[in-house]
Amino acid sequence: MQTILILDHGSQYTQLIARKIREQNVYCEIHPYNKIPEITPDIKGVVLSGSPYSVTDSEAPHTDLSQFKGKVPVLGICYGAQYMIHLMGGKVEKSVIREYGRAKLVHVDNTCALLKGVELNSQVWMSHGDTILQMPDNCQVICSTENVANAGYKIKGEETYAIQFHPEVHHSQFGSQLLRNFVLDICRCDGSWTPANFVKSTVQSLKEQLKDDKVVLGLSGGVDSSVAAMLLHRAIGQNLTCIFVDNGLLRKNEFTEVLQSYQNMGLNVIGADAKQDFYKVLAGVTDPEQKRKAIGRTFIDVFDAQAGKLHDVKWLGQGTIYPDVIESSSVKGPSQTIKSHHNVGGLPDYMKLKLVEPLRLLFKDEVRKVGRELGLKDSLLKRHPFPGPGLAIRILGEVTPEKVAVLQEVDSIFINALKQSNLYDKVWQAGAILLPVQSVGVMGDERTYERVVALRAVESVDGMTADWCHLPYEFLADVSNKIINQVKGVNRVCYDISSKPPATIEWE
Ligand code: XMP
C-alpha cells in the first residue's frame, strides 16, 4: 500500500499532519524519529514533523536522514526544516522574537512543485523559537514572510523540501494545497485510499488472517466497536460472535434499542443482562477510581463467563483506533493517567486469545466514514461519546438502581430535546449529572427538599480539550421545566459552564 511516513519529533501537531494527508486519500503512518521502519518501495515519501526542542538543545531529537533523504521525497516542517539546515552546515539560531501565529507570504515561487496554487499574500501559521538565518549553497529559497526570509526551501537536485510554517494547521490558508502537492505530485501517490478501498482490502486481509477461526468481540453501543464488528462480520460472517453487556449504567432503553439494531444488522449478538452484578459491586463505593475499577473487573468477569460458553474461539476482536496505537508508541510515551479509562482493558491472560483490531490504522472521523460505507445508520455513527463506566461516573457518590433510574429520565429528556432542536449534531458530547446534594424548592404550596441535577454539553475535537456549549437560554429554560415537571424527586437544574482544562468533561 502506498504510504507516507511521518517521523515524529514530538510536535503537538504531528497527528494533525497525518489527518491532513489522509484527507487527500493517501495513507500515512506516524513513527517516532528514532524508530525509522525499513524504507520499502511502498514508502513514497517522508515528512519530518516539528518539535518542542531547538536544534541547538543538547537533548534535541536526531533522525538518521541517510536512510531516506535523496532516495524518496522529503518534506521537513518547522523543526524538520531547521534540522536539515543545521546538519548541512547552515545557520539556525534562536529567533530574537519568538515567531508565533499568523504571517503572510510575501514571496512565493510558484514554479516550485510544492507551492503550486499557493497564493502570494496568503496566510501561514508560524510556531517556532528557532529560525534559519543562513542557508547552504545547495538550498534554494522558495517562499518568505515579512519576518522570515527563509520560510521555505528546496535542496537542489533532490526532491527534498522544507517549510518553517505549519501547513497542517487550519490557519495556514493553502496548507492543504501544499500537502496535496507534496503527496500527490511530488511523491506521486494515486490518492486511492478511500473508505471503499479500505473496506475491500481490510475484509480481504481479515479473511486471509482468520480463515475458519472463530472470533468474539465485546460491543459497547459506540461507533468503534460497532464498525469493527461490521468489518469482521463481512469477512467471517457467523464465525463472529458479539457480546453486548447490560451493566445497568446505560442510557434509558439503550440496551434494548441498540441490541435490536445490532440484530437488524445481521450480527450474531448475545445480550447479557448483568445489571445486578454491577449494582452489587458498586454498593457502598463512592470513590471515582474505585468505581471504574469495580466496573472494569465485573465487565471482564461477565464477558469471560459468556465467552467461556462459546467453543473453539481463537481471537478477540477489538475496536482499538489509531490514536490509542500512536499514544502507546509515541516519542513522549503513554500520557499521564488522570482518569483510568478502562475500556481498552483487555481480558485475563488465561483466555489466550489472539487480538484482531481491524481499525487500528484509523482516526475517529475515518472510522465514521468506513461505518457509513458499511451501511451503518446515522443514529449509531453520530452518537456522542459515552464513557465505559456509563452513568456510574455521572452519579456523584454511591450508585444505586434508584439513582440510575432518576438520572436516566433526566438524561433522556435532555438528549431528546437536543435532537428535537437540531442541536445534537452540533454538540460533541452531552449528558446529565446527579449531584449528591438536596435543595429546597416549592411546588404548588408545598416546600420540597429534593435532588439537584447538572446538565453538561461540550464542544471538542478529540475530548482532550473542550469548551462548554453556549446553548440558547430558551432551550435550557425549556429543558429545565420539563425535567422538574416530569422527573419525580428533582427540583433544581444547573448548567455546567466549565471548560476543559481546568475542569474535565465528566465530573468524576
Ligand atoms: P474527561 O472526563 O477525562 O473525559 O475529560 C474525556 C472523554 O473520555 C470519556 N471518559 C471515559 N471513557 N472510560 C471511558 O471509556 C472512562 O472511565 C472514562 N472517563 C471519561 C468522557 O466521557 C469523555 O468523552
pLDDT in tens, 10-43: 998 999 999 999 999 999 999 999 999 999 999 9
Which residue, judged by its Cα, is nearest atom 7 of ligand 1?
A: 463
CB 50 within 8 A of CB 78: yes
CB 454 within 8 A of CB 435: yes
Mutate to test the pocket of ligand 1, among 245, 339, 399, 456 (most ligand atoms within 8 A of CB): 339
pLDDT confidence of residue 460: 92
pLDDT confidence of residue 341: 53
Mean pLDDT to the nearest integer, 128-135 = 92
Which residue, judged by its Cα, is nearest atom 10 of ligand 1?
A: 387
pLDDT confidence of residue 340: 57
pLDDT in tens, 261-314: 999 999 999 999 999 999 999 999 999 999 999 999 999 999 999 999 999 999
Active site residues: 78, 166, 168
Residue 30: which H helix or E strand, with range?
A: strand 27-32
Cα–Cα distance, 251 to 58 (Å, whole number): 53
Which residue, judged by its Cα, is nearest atom 16 of ligand 1?
A: 341
CB 20 within 8 A of CB 176: yes
pLDDT for 338 beyond 60: no
pLDDT confidence of residue 333: 54
Sign of CA dihedral 377, 408, 307, 384: positive
Residues 6 or more apart in contact with residue 472 via CB below 8 angstroms: none
CB 3 within 8 A of CB 28: yes
Cα–Cα distance, 343 to 220 (Å, whole number): 9
Which residue, judged by its Cα, is nearest atom 3 of ligand 1?
A: 504
CB 223 within 8 A of CB 368: yes
pLDDT confidence of residue 418: 98
Mean pLDDT to the nearest integer, 106-125 = 97
Mean pLDDT to the nearest integer, 448-468 = 94
Query: Could you give the C-alpha distances from 382 to 63, 99, 260, 428, in angstroms and in order?
Result: 40, 39, 18, 10
User: Residues near ligand 1 with C-beta < 6 Å?
Assistant: 292, 339, 341-343, 385, 387-389, 429, 463, 500, 504-506
pLDDT in tens, 142-172: 999 999 999 999 999 999 999 999 999 999 9
* 58 Cα distance to chain centroid: 33
Cell (9 digits) for 400: 444505586
Query: Could you give the C-alpha distances from 115 to 107, 218, 441, in angstroms and in order?
Result: 11, 47, 65
272 CA to centre of ligand 1 in angstroms = 23
335 CA to centre of ligand 1 in angstroms = 14
> What is the phi/psi pair of residue 245, to 5°?
-95, 130
For the CA of 388, the nearest atom of ligand 1: 15
pLDDT confidence of residue 462: 80
CB 311 within 8 A of CB 215: no
174 CA to centre of ligand 1 in angstroms = 35
pLDDT for 421 beyond 90: yes
pLDDT in tens, 88-98: 999 999 887 76
- Is residue 352 very low, low, confident or very high in pLDDT (cuts 50, 70, 90)? confident
Spell out the domains of the chain, with CATH numbers in brackets: 3-186 (3.40.50.880), 195-381 (3.40.50.620), 400-495 (3.30.300.10)
pLDDT for 404 beyond 70: yes
Mean pLDDT to the nearest integer, 395-419 = 98
- Is residue 369 very low, low, confident or very high in pLDDT (cuts 50, 70, 90)? very high
pLDDT confidence of residue 334: 47
For the CA of 460, the nearest atom of ligand 1: 24
385 CA to centre of ligand 1 in angstroms = 8
Ordered alpha helix ranges (H), 245-386: 254-264, 275-282, 288-308, 322-328, 364-373, 378-381
Share of the chain above pLDDT 90, in %: 88
What is the pTM assigned to this prediction? Answer: 0.86
Cα–Cα distance, 402 to 404 (Å, whole number): 5
Q: Higher confidence at residue 287 or residue 342?
A: 287
Question: Which has the closest alpha carbon to 364: 321, 334, 319, 328?
Answer: 321
pLDDT confidence of residue 59: 92
pLDDT confidence of residue 344: 45
> What is the phi/psi pair of residue 272, to 5°?
-110, 115
Share of the chain above pLDDT 70, in %: 95
pLDDT for 335 beyond 50: no
For the CA of 464, the nearest atom of ligand 1: 6
Which residue, judged by its Cα, is nearest atom 22 of ligand 1?
A: 387
Residue 415: which H helix or E strand, with range?
A: helix 401-420
pLDDT confidence of residue 101: 87
pLDDT confidence of residue 343: 45
Q: What is the overall mean pLDDT for the chain?
A: 93
CB 221 within 8 A of CB 244: yes
